């Protein structure tokens, strides 16, 4: 896949990701939810750290995490450029473009959102570019998440060993479009591994 097509994929994912995040941030209060289907709901949460809510401790934990993301995405960007330059398989460059776009989308939240939004609370909906300034400093923003796919929520059949008869919920984590792009990119690399990395 050419560099132009890769850039198009990145821009498209970033637009969808950032438009959805800005809309949720400026129209939903914290933890407000909209149930679309029994298994799909929109719920506004903010993630201070990495995936699954993991946080680095201390005042500089968030800063170190953001700086690590910047270094990581620089490496992904070079991998994409090098793959295009070498004429690698289209599936490889497509997947790298998805991963790059997803990582960059979440980095934008971490770097800028603390400056361009005020605080979201259970009773207050945030404003874009408030006169009083943002809720945090540069590099200390929170990542906006809003998608939850609760594919199963009920009691497991009695015949299942160990867990039978107990309550089970799948899939509980709340994520965003950027997370989805990263997950899809990694999944496709695993599925089409032989096409992405052909033996010479």
Catalytic residues: 145, 179
Burial 31-60 (b: 16+ CB within 10 A, else e): ebeeeeeeeebbbbbbbbbeeeeeeeeeee
Q: Count Cα atoms within 13 angstroms, Cβ side, for 192.
A: 15
Vertex 136 angle, CA 130 and 140, to 5°: 135
Alpha-carbon separation of residue 58 from 62, 108, 186 (angstroms): 8, 22, 31
């Amino acid at each position: 896949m050419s560099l132009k097509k890769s850039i198009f994929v990145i821009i498209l994912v970033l637009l969808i990701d950032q438009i959805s995040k800005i809309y949720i941030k400026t129209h939903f209060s914290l933890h407000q939810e909209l149930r679309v289907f029994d298994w799909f709901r929109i719920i506004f949460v903010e993630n201070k750290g990495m995936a699954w809510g993991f946080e680095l401790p201390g005042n500089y934990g968030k800063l170190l995490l953001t700086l690590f993301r910047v270094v990581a995405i620089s490496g992904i960007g070079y991998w994409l450029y090098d793959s295009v330059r070498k004429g690698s398989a289209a599936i490889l460059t497509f997947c790298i473009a998805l991963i790059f776009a997803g990582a960059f989308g979440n980095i934008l939240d971490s770097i800028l959102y603390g400056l361009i939004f005020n605080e979201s609370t259970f009773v207050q909906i945030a404003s874009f570019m408030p006169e009083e300034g943002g809720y945090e400093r540069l590099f200390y923003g929170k990542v906006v998440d809003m998608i939850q796919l609760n594919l199963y929520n009920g009691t497991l059949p009695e015949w299942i060993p160990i867990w039978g008869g107990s309550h089970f919920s799948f899939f509980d984590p709340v994520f965003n479009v950027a997370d989805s792009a990263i997950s899809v990119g990694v999944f496709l690399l695993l599925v089409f591994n032989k096409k992405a990395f052909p033996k010479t």
